Structure 1
Amino acid sequence: MVFYLDNEVDAKFDFDIEEVAKLVACKVLETEGCRDDVEISLIITDDEGIRQMNNEFREIDRATDVLSFPNVSYEEPGDFSVMDGEQKVDLLNPDSGNIMFGDIVVNENRVREQAKEYGHSEKREFAFLIAHSMLHLCGYDHMEENEAAIMEKKQREILEALGITRG
């Protein structure tokens, strides 16, 4: 996995942003059974930066905690066989041969606020947002109650497997 980090706001936490993001992203890919070499872009921004992106790409003019922009169109969540089909040509980075998997945008301010609100560490909140976004990049969604239950279970299992808990 290749990870591109753009820390637009020079956010600093008491953990290594790239290290935690890679750890969580790798665990999601492993758990989901993705065997392809993928590239993921991670942008760390603030309320205004994420509000602008949310407005531009989703036509929702407000800040949020995280945005996910998957490049893969799935028939079923976690069915990576679609990356071997017609999409493969469009997904391949010609320079590396890796699948351009998608982009994640994290709002630094919300990491801090939500960690405080939920009573856990900023590392745990950041890891949760990365796991959540990675599941979106794997084709999962939470628009319906049953979809949300699946995502919540997967997020919890991933973070528990990494020992990143609310405690």
Structure 2
Amino acid sequence: MISFNYETDFELQDEARYEEWISEVIESEDKTEGEINYIFCDDEYLLQKNIEFLDHDTLTDIISFDYTMGNLISGDIFISVERVKDNAADFNVSFDDELRRVMAHGVLHYCGYKDKLDEDSTVMRSKEEEKMKLFHVEQ
């Protein structure tokens, strides 16, 4: 089950499409969907989580808490909408594309992909691109 929660005034348009897409991402990795909670928030909210749980006093776009057991993918994914907006501008991509990249990123961590080392980061970026293509944008 995938759920979307909001700690800011942002809300996803067409949650059902996003839920279907994340399910497809998980299935494409031969994993089983458990409980995944997306929590959309602002910088301040996520900074407090970063300090409280990870002892990092820095802004970030995503923090994920992985509760995956075997192939059953579960966890809480906190996303700062403010960071996503700023990063979209910095990377010269649309907000929607950057948001989908970050949403896929969290789930990919649960599927076993890492991004701390350069070679792992390259694989993660490739997987993000692959999974973003599964989101069918209506023309």
Normalised TM-score (structure 1): 0.73
Higher relative contact order (CA 8 A, sep 6+): 1
Q: Which residue of 2 aligns with 1:25?
A: 22
Q: Which residue of 2 aligns with 1:16?
A: 13
More strand by share: 2
Structure 1 consecutive aligned stretches of length 4 or more whose deviation exceeds 3 Å: none
Give the deviation of 1:114 after TM superposition: 1.4
Given that 2:21 and 2:134 are in contact with CA atoms closer than 8 Å, whether structure 1 keeps it comes out as: no
Distance 1:131 1:161 in 2: 10
Q: Which residue of 2 aligns with 1:65?
A: 61
Aligned length: 137
Distance 2:40 2:2 in 1: 13
Asked which structure has the greater CA Rg, the reply is 1
CA deviations over 1:84-122 (Å, ceiling 9, x no partner): xxxxxxxxxxxxxxx570010010101211122222211
Distance 2:100 2:16 in 1: 10
The answer to whether residue 132 in structure 2 is matched with residue 159 in structure 1 is: yes
Normalised TM-score (structure 2): 0.86
Q: Which residue of 1 aligns with 2:98?
A: 125
Unaligned 5+ runs, structure 1: 74-81, 84-98
Aligned CA RMSD, in angstroms, stands at: 2.0
User: Identity across aligned pairs (percent)?
Assistant: 28
The answer to whether residue 122 in structure 2 is matched with residue 149 in structure 1 is: yes
